[in-house]
C-alpha cells in the first residue's frame, strides 16, 4: 500500500522572492529588510516616538507655566490680582490710619450699598505670612465686618481684595493709603495732620519732622493744601489732646486758631481749660467752644438775670480702677462722666454708692 502524500506539505522560500517588475527610473528600490521588521522592533520604535512626543508636550507645558508665573508676579506687584480674603485674616496695625477713630456717619450708607449691590472697588492688602495687612479700604473693611456681625451672612465673611506682593517700602504703602483718600472730600485737614504727626513720630519711617512727613505723604496734593495740613499739625500740637472731635474743625476755624495760638501763648492754656470744662459730647458743641476763643464770648459767661450771680465752675479729673472720671461742679450741680455704663448698673448699687458719697461729704 502506497503512502498518501500530505496535502499541506508546502516548501516556503527562505529568501525574498525576486520580483521581475521593473523599477521606474529615478526611484530607489525598496529595502526588503523594512518589510520584514519584527513586532518587537516596531513596538520599540513606537514607544520611542511616543516618548519624544510626551517630552515635547511637557516642555511646552513648562514654558507655559513659567510664562503664567511671570505674569502672576507682575500683576501681583501692580495689585491686579483679586481674591476673596477672610475679614478676620486682615490686620490694620501696620499703618497708622488717616481716618478718625469716631464712627463715620456715612458708613451706614456704604453698608446698604454693599448689601444691595456688592463691593465694586476691592480693598488692597499686602500679604504677610499667613495673613494680610490692610493698605487701602479701611471703611470698606469696617462695613464688611459690621455686616457680618449683624447678619451672620457668609457672603460678608470674605471681602474682595487686591493682593500686593510683600516687601514694599513703608513710605510707599503710606502713599497708597493717602492718595486714595485725597480724592475724597470728606477727609479732614485734622485727620491728614494727625497722620503726618504719627508718621513723623514712627521710628521706622526715619522722618525728621512733620514738615518732611507732609512732603512725603502728600506729594500728590497741591502746595496750598500741604500748607493747610502743616498748620493743622501745629494746631494739634497745641490742643490735640484736649479735642474729642478734631476732624469736625472747619479749615478757616483751624487756621484762625493756629494763628491765635502762635500770637498768644496764654490762649493755649485758656483753650484747654475751656474744652475740659465744657465736656462736649457733640462736635457742634466743641466747635462752639473753639469759636468762643476767637470772639472772647463764652456761652456760659453771658450776663446772668438780675438778682442772680454767676458762681465759679470747678472741673477736675480722677483716675480710678475703672478708668478716668471727669467731674464738673457748679451751682448745686455735679456731673460725672466716665466710660462706665451707669445705666446697666443695679439701682440698689447706685443708691448705696450715692449714700456713701454724701456720707463722706457730711463727715
120: cell is 465694586
Mean pLDDT of 110-127: 87
Structure pTM? 0.49
Q: How many CA atoms lie less than 13 Å away from 255 in the CB half-sphere?
A: 10
Indicate the pairing of strand 90-91 with strand 314-320.
unpaired
* Cβ atoms within 10 Å of 235's Cβ, excluding its own: 28
pLDDT digits 0-9 by tens, 221-265: 888 989 999 999 999 999 999 999 998 999 999 999 999 999 888
Mean pLDDT of 185-207: 85
Check: CB of residue 90 under 8 Å from CB of residue 131: yes
Q: Does CATH number 3.40.50.880 belong to domain 60-184?
A: no
Could you tell me the residue ranges of all domains in the chain?
Answer: 60-184, 188-300, 314-362
Which pLDDT score, from 0 to 100, does residue 23 have?
56
Angle between helices 170-182 and 189-201 (to 10 degrees): 180
Burial of 145 (C-beta count, 10 Å sphere; 0-12/13-18/19+)? middle
Amino acid at each position: 500500500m502506497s503512502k498518501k502524500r500530505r496535502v499541506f506539505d508546502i516548501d516556503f522560500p527562505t529568501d525574498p522572492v525576486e520580483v521581475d517588475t521593473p523599477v521606474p527610473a529615478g526611484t530607489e528600490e525598496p529595502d526588503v529588510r523594512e518589510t520584514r521588521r519584527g513586532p518587537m522592533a516596531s513596538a520599540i520604535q513606537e514607544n520611542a516616538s511616543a516618548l519624544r512626543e510626551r517630552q515635547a508636550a511637557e516642555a511646552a507645558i513648562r514654558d507655559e507655566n513659567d510664562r503664567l508665573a511671570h505674569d502672576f508676579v507682575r500683576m501681583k506687584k501692580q495689585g491686579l490680582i483679586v481674591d476673596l480674603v477672610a475679614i478676620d485674616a486682615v490686620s490694620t496695625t501696620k499703618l497708622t490710619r488717616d481716618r478718625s477713630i469716631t464712627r463715620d456717619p456715612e458708613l451706614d450708607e456704604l453698608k446698604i450699598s454693599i448689601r444691595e449691590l456688592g463691593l465694586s472697588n476691592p480693598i488692597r492688602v499686602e500679604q504677610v505670612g499667613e495673613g494680610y495687612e490692610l493698605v487701602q479700604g479701611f471703611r470698606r473693611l469696617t462695613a464688611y465686618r459690621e455686616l457680618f456681625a449683624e447678619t451672620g451672612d457668609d457672603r460678608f465673611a470674605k471681602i474682595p481684595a487686591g493682593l500686593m506682593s510683600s516687601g514694599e517700602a513703608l513710605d510707599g504703602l503710606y502713599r497708597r493709603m493717602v492718595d486714595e483718600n485725597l480724592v475724597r472730600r470728606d477727609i479732614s485737614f485734622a485727620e491728614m495732620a494727625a497722620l503726618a504727626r504719627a508718621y513723623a513720630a514712627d521710628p521706622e519711617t526715619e522722618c525728621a519732622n512733620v514738615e518732611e512727613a507732609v512732603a512725603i505723604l502728600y506729594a500728590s496734593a497741591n502746595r496750598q493744601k500741604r500748607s493747610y495740613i502743616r498748620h493743622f499739625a501745629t494746631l494739634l500740637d497745641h490742643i490735640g489732646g484736649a479735642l474729642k472731635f478734631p476732624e469736625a474743625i472747619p479749615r478757616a476755624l483751624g487756621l484762625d486758631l493756629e494763628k491765635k495760638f502762635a500770637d498768644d501763648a496764654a490762649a493755649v492754656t485758656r483753650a484747654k481749660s475751656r474744652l475740659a470744662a465744657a465736656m462736649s459730647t457733640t462736635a457742634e458743641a466743641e466747635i462752639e467752644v473753639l469759636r468762643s476763643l476767637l470772639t472772647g464770648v463764652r456761652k456760659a459767661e453771658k450776663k446772668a438775670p438780675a438778682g442772680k450771680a454767676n458762681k465759679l465752675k470747678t472741673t477736675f479729673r480722677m483716675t480710678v480702677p475703672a478708668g478716668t472720671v471727669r467731674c464738673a461742679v457748679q451751682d448745686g450741680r455735679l456731673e460725672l462722666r466716665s466710660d462706665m455704663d451707669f445705666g446697666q448698673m443695679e439701682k440698689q448699687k447706685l443708691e448705696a454708692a450715692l449714700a456713701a458719697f454724701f456720707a463722706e461729704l457730711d463727715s
